[in-house]
Amino acid sequence: MTRSASHSILPPVTPEEQRQSAAVSELIRGQIEAAGGVVSFESFMEAALYAPGLGYYSAGATKIGAGGDFVTAPEVSELFGRCVARQCAQVLSSGGGEILEIGAGTGRLAATLLQALAETGVLPQRYAILEVSADLASRQRAQLQKLPPSLRDRVAWLDRLPETPLRGVILANEVLDALPFSRIVLRGGELHELGVAMQDGAFVERERPPSAALAQAWSSLADELPVRLPEGYRSEICLRIEPWIAGVGACLESGLLLLLDYGLPRAHYYHPERNDGTLRCHFKQRAHSDPFANVGVQDITAWVDFTRVAEAAVASNLEVLGFVTQAAFLLATGIEEMAAQSGTILERVQRAGEARKLLLPGEMGEAFKVMALGKDHESLLTGFSLQDLRRSL
């Protein structure tokens, strides 16, 4: 059992954030009591992030951008969105249809995509957004309201996945990393689940036997690992990837599901040197590893096991058409050319700096990956022409 670490490295919380965190924490305490003293980390994370009206993504707060908790690639530069637009245009040119963006952040990616697609003359019939955060949906509306009527009239917000499968492109940028996951630890060669309990009024870890589903998932993946993992090894397993891919895949009649997120193939994810897992929390531009700090007002994520994503895709009759680093995807879709052609000298210098952040291994270039899952889509994909990491899955 481990108490949460010192919070001294984190920026202070506001009175409003304290009230929200207290309300979310009280909700989770009630869940722990009702469960007999311990809940799964997955349940804890579900409540901390998504409890209606209380959780991090459900309550109003600035989450993304310079004034929020973290910065995503669309916020770094419009070059990112313009590269994604080139890939979308290729798919729409061959089969037409629409775009569905799941988790659209501040709306910057949607705005850039629509503007870039309009310039190429390849617009989607509709640009649908599925957003679980009322706060972010409000920011998206404000952002997209700035577009010309011919573009903003194509945008529609959904409260659930569409019942009628669509043709075109489904986008998910930094969505999979926020799916609630389980945490595990190895003791004496056996798998233990890291649950969440209360001690002296604080949230603490508590080891317990794994659920049948978690034990089966670990048994299946552990048999594939090339090396033995050490005593005390800790990591994560996201059992929600399979149903998520199945649900989203069922919405695609033909076209492309484009996933952009930070993650690794399984053999690199579950590696002895990565012995404390990949869990990361984000609060006011500070990354740390304590999920029990500022509960309800900080983000909680983990890297994506892209092998699990690929397995789920195949099980859902989707084809893995490509898997590359973000750097390879952006280079293949012309980021250098776009940066060099930007307006004035000062603008070109600014774009070059933004491009470096998106491309360099020490920034976003290598940690972030792009995966293309297709259904009835046969044309080549420009974004995956420079690299092919599918054999690593």
Q: Convert the pLDDT of each residue in 93-115 to its tens digit.
A: 987 899 999 999 999 999 999 99
Q: What is the pLDDT of residue 2?
A: 36
Give yes or no for residue 6 having a pLDDT over 60.
no
State the pLDDT confidence band at 5, using cuts at 50, 70 and 90.
very low
For 35, the 3-state DSSP assignment is coil
**CA 171/CA 334 separation, integer angstroms:** 19
Is residue 4 predicted with pLDDT exceeding 70?
no
Q: Tell me the backbone φ, ψ of residue 155, rounded to 5 degrees.
A: -90, 135
pLDDT of 173 = 97
Query: What is the CATH number assigned to the segment(s) 73-178+242-266+304-392?
Result: 3.40.50.12710
The band of 241, judged by pLDDT with boundaries at 50, 70 and 90, is very high
Is pLDDT of 246 > 90? yes
Decide the pairing of beta strands 304-305 and 319-325.
unpaired
Looking at 68-72, 151-155, 169-173, 339-343, which range is the least confident one?
68-72
CA distance between the termini of the chain: 34
CA neighbor of 254 nearest in space, from 377, 162, 379, 382: 377
Q: Mind listing the pLDDT tens digit for each residue in 295-313?
A: 999 999 999 999 999 999 9
Question: At 71, is the pLDDT very low, low, confident or very high (cuts 50, 70, 90)?
Answer: confident
Segment 309-357, tens digit of pLDDT: 999 999 999 999 999 999 999 999 999 999 988 778 888 889 889 999 9
Q: What is the pLDDT of residue 343?
A: 79
- What band does 1 get if pLDDT is binned at 50, 70 and 90? very low
Give the CA dihedral 250, 182, 220, 235, nearest 10 degrees.
Answer: 130
Q: Are strands 127-130 and 182-187 parallel, antiparallel or unpaired?
A: unpaired
pTM of the model: 0.94
**134 or 383, greater pLDDT:** 383
Q: How many CA atoms lie within 13 A of 78 on its CB side?
A: 14
Query: Could you give the CA distance from residue 12 to residue 1 in angstroms, rounded to a whole number?
Result: 26
pLDDT the model gives residue 161: 96
Contact 42, 194 (CB under 8 A): no
- For residue 320, give both structure tokens: 């893995």
pLDDT at residue 76 above 80?
yes
The pLDDT of residue 346: 86
What is the rounded CA–CA span in Å between residue 11 and residue 290?
Answer: 14
Are the beta carbons of 363 and 354 closer than 8 angstroms?
no
64 DSSP 8-state letter: B
Mean predicted lDDT score pLDDT of the chain: 92
Residue 61, pLDDT > 60, answer no
Bigger pLDDT: 379 vs 245:
245
Contact 184, 214 (CB under 8 A): yes
In degrees and rounded to multiples of 5, residue 288 shows phi and psi of -155, 180
Check residue 11 and give its pLDDT.
83
Band of residue 8 on the pLDDT scale cut at 50, 70, 90: low
pLDDT of residue 3: 36
Q: Which residue has the tokens 């009628």?
A: 164
How confident is the model at residue 172, as a pLDDT? 98
Residue type for position 50: Y
Q: Which helix (H) or strand (E) holds 173?
A: strand 166-173
**DSSP codes of every residue in 257-311:** EEEEEEEE-HHHHS-TT-TB---EEEETTEEES-TTSSTTSSEEE--EEHHHHHH
Per-residue pLDDT band for 43 (boundaries 50, 70, 90) equals very high
Which parts of 5-76 are beta strand (E)?
39-40
**Mean pLDDT confidence for 14-28:** 93
Number of Cβ within 10 Å of residue 332's Cβ equals: 21
Domain ranges across the chain: 73-178+242-266+304-392
CA 149 and chain centroid, separation: 30
Confidence band of 263 (pLDDT split at 50, 70, 90): very high
Q: How many C-beta neighbours within 10 Å does residue 373 have?
A: 27
pLDDT mean over 247-257: 97
pLDDT at 62 over 60: no
Residue 64 has pLDDT above 90, yes or no: no
